[in-house]
Amino acid sequence: MVSRTIIALAFLLGAGCASASQYTQWPYQGPMMMVKNPTSQTLVVLARDGTGRQLITARVRPKSMQCFRWPFIDVTGYLRAAETAADTVTTGPFQPWSAAGWEWSAREQPKSNPNACG
């Protein structure tokens, strides 16, 4: 009985350690992104990594801003904003992990801003 309990505890501990190492790769401490919307339409902002994965990261109301953490660990990234299906803006490639914070207004390229959302 005691040996079964020890084996079960060891298994649970091993599973916990294995899952913890998996989560350390997720960029929960990624750089902050501040997106400003100067338009009169709501923007849907997507983050895209260099391998083509995309996530909707923010919905920015007209004449406002939204902050979020960069969701990928890939070195190269893009930001994409769409007002409507026909009106989409995509940045050039940039390296989100090269700075602690970024700012983008959907009318220019992202620029480094260590005080973004801070």
Q: Which residue has the higher pLDDT, 106 or 57?
A: 57
What pLDDT digit, counting tens, does each position of 14-59 carry?
Answer: 555 544 433 334 556 789 999 999 888 899 999 999 888 999 999 9
Domain 32-112 in CATH 1.20.120? The answer is no
Evaluated on CA atoms 20, 24, 26, 28, the torsion sign reads positive
pLDDT of residue 52: 87
Spatial distance between the Cα atoms of 2 and 50, rounded to a whole number of angstroms = 51
Q: Where are the domains of the chain?
A: 32-112
SS3 55: strand
What pLDDT digit, counting tens, does each position of 63-95 carry?
Answer: 999 999 999 988 899 999 987 667 888 999 999
In 20-62, which ranges are E strands? 32-37, 43-49, 54-60
pLDDT of residue 85: 67
Residue 118: pLDDT band with limits 50, 70, 90: confident
Amino acid at 112: S
